[in-house]
Chain A
Amino acid sequence: MISLNRASLRYGPILGLSPTSFELPDGGGITGLLGPNGAGKSSLLQLLSGLLPPSGGEVRVFGEAPFRNPAVLARLGLVPEGDRLPTGLRADRWLRMMGELSGLSGEALNAAVASALATVGMADRAHLTFTRMSKGMRQRIRLAQALMHGPELLILDEPFNGLDPEARLTLMALLRSLAEKGTRILVSSHILGEIAQLTDRILLLFRGRLLAEGSVTEIRQLLDRHPVELRLTGEAQVLARWAVEQPELAALRVEDGAVVISVRSPREILPRLQKAAAEGGIPLQALDPLDLNLDAVFQYLTKDHA
């Protein structure tokens, strides 16, 4: 569905995106595009949505270059960052225009507008002008305009910004539901928790470079030299004695009566730990991985490339 071959983007002398290559397969699913502000997320999304042509390399969406390509644009929807909408217009009329610009007409257009408004929960407030809408309402309308023509690829740039917790959950549920129905969704965020809640498949960008691609676990496995922290709760002295004998141990400290160990290759040490605990060799009461989450992966990767 999406393929980048050393695609790059420059804004004059500034490099927005270094030569980047990756592919996303056909079919539904959610892919998170993760990176801090200025990482190149919006640049990448602008290349994919056909707003900008690559400065170098090649971008293919549905097998074609997307820039000013109606055949590609008819099949994708974009929700850009922010809540900007044209001033002085009513939401329902503006959506009708957007539908017509997407090639809808007649009954299909009426149905699409009604369906998109219902999907985002704005059917009863669509007669309002944008200036009278809250940020969250405008965000929903922006989502509706991207959904109304039934895109196969939905691109969302920081869609959770400015949404209250309830609206976030609603949007996440909606995105999951669309993905289950076969829509490929690419969603960017600089907040790790949002992406982690939404999907396990991520593209990690930093300073215009694609650092990693895959699931959180897969990316974690790329980082063998970065130890994983495990918190072992039990009799600290005995646990520490057992831990220092392990060849994978990188560091050890005692915190609040628990032993926190940093180990390389956790997949090797964990079975031994479980076996020792099961056989009564160590008094282990609880085992918590401290940093096997997206935040830790993100910090490790970005620290390396800073």
Chain B
Amino acid sequence: MSTAIPTPLATIRATARGYLPRVFQGRGWVLAALVMVPVGLSLLIYTVAQIKGAGDSHPHPGEVLKIFHEVLVKMMLPIMALVAAPAGIREDMEQRTLALMLVRPAPVWALPLGKGLPWFFWGAAWLVLGTLGLQVIGGDPALLPGRLVALVSAWWGELALMTLVGLFFKRGTLWGALYFFLWEPLVRIFPPILQRLTFTHHIESLAGSRAAEVGTSQLLAQEQVSTHPALACLALLAFGVLCWALAGWKLHRTPLGLAGSEAEG
């Protein structure tokens, strides 16, 4: 039988299509719930308040800002990356099924991206839906495009980062959690140069800063800097591409045997 060597694009397409059903299973619905539970609860509270005719049932942009920045960006997005990334190429390593893919003539470096793409699109779809849901409560329509772009591009970058970390470290999820929940919050006290090394900075540059909304307990220790939205978006997308490329390079370079562990080549 004559076979051709698959192109990188064909490899990515085949892997993404092959593993697409995984996102419709348990982990995929956890991902959806991470976005929709807080948004859904907010919607429920808002709807109940409206039905009861309570005084504060009018649209509340401040609440939306809080849910977006404090819940979706700060908590749910990192947790989504921590949940989805282990279902990518790391899953095949741990289930010891990666060897079945590595003995194919397809370019190995394309496999992490191929396995990650279904998770990216699935998560992005829910993030878009969740952000649209927030509009019902009273999100500022002018900020909507920025919020959508911010969440989707940050999701792209964070998922890629977690995939990469999962290939470099056995306890990738732990390192990822430390990064998201220890490093990122420091953006409030970082000098400008370090602020630019956080997802939070780029998300706020794209979606609009919540600085005007912070209370006295959340005062910035350093001046908050801003990056042009286009540059912030480009930075997130480019960072994601870089992480996928590094993950591909790492997988290509690492001799992985049947036990899923490295041998000294």
Contacts of A100 in B (CB 8 A): 6, 10-11, 13-14, 18
CB of A229 closer than 8 Å to a CB of B: no
Q: How far is the CB of B91 from chain A (nearest CB, A)?
A: 8
User: Contact at B103–A49, with CB atoms within 8 Å?
Assistant: yes
Once the chains bind, are A105 and B10 in contact (CB under 8 Å)?
yes
Task: Tell me the complex Cα distance, A236–B104, Å.
Answer: 62
Tell me whether B22 is interfacial, beta carbon within 8 Å.
yes
CB-based contact B99/A51 at 8 Å: yes
Is A87's CB under 8 angstroms from B103's CB? no
Instruction: Please tell me the size bucket of the interface on A.
Output: 35 or more
A88 within 8 Å of B by Cβ? yes
A18 interfacial by beta-carbon distance below 8 Å: no
Asked if A67 contacts B258 (CB within 8 A), the reply is no
**Chain A residues with Cβ under 8 A from B97's Cβ?**
84-86
Known: A11-B263, A70-B105. A80 touches B3 (CB 8 A): no
Residues of B within 8 A of A80 (CB): 96, 99-100, 258
Q: Tally inter-chain residue pairs, CB-CB below 8 A.
A: 131
Is A74 an interface residue when CB atoms closer than 8 A count as contact?
yes
Give 1 or 0 for each of B89-117: 1 = CB within 8 Å of chain A CB.
00110011101111111111000000000
Knowing A16-B263, A87-B95, A88-B22 are in contact, say whether A76-B103 is a contact too (CB < 8 A). yes
* B105/A96 in contact, CB under 8 A: no
> B5 touching A11 by the CB < 8 A rule?
no
Report the interface size class on chain B. 35 or more
Report the minimal beta-carbon distance from B149 to chain A, rounded to whole angstroms: 32
A53/B105 in contact, CB under 8 A: no
Q: Check A93–B1 contact: CB distance below 8 A.
A: no
The 6 closest A-B pairs by CB, nearest first: A97-B18, A150-B1, A100-B14, A70-B105, A103-B3, A53-B265
B residues near A (Cβ < 8 Å) are: 1, 3-6, 10-11, 13-15, 17-19, 21-22, 25, 91-92, 95-97, 99-108, 252, 255-258, 261, 263-265
**What are 18 sample pairs from A and B whose C-beta atoms fall under 8 A apart?**
A10-B264, A11-B261, A12-B264, A42-B258, A51-B258, A67-B265, A70-B5, A73-B104, A73-B105, A77-B103, A78-B99, A81-B258, A98-B101, A100-B6, A103-B106, A149-B1, A149-B3, A157-B258
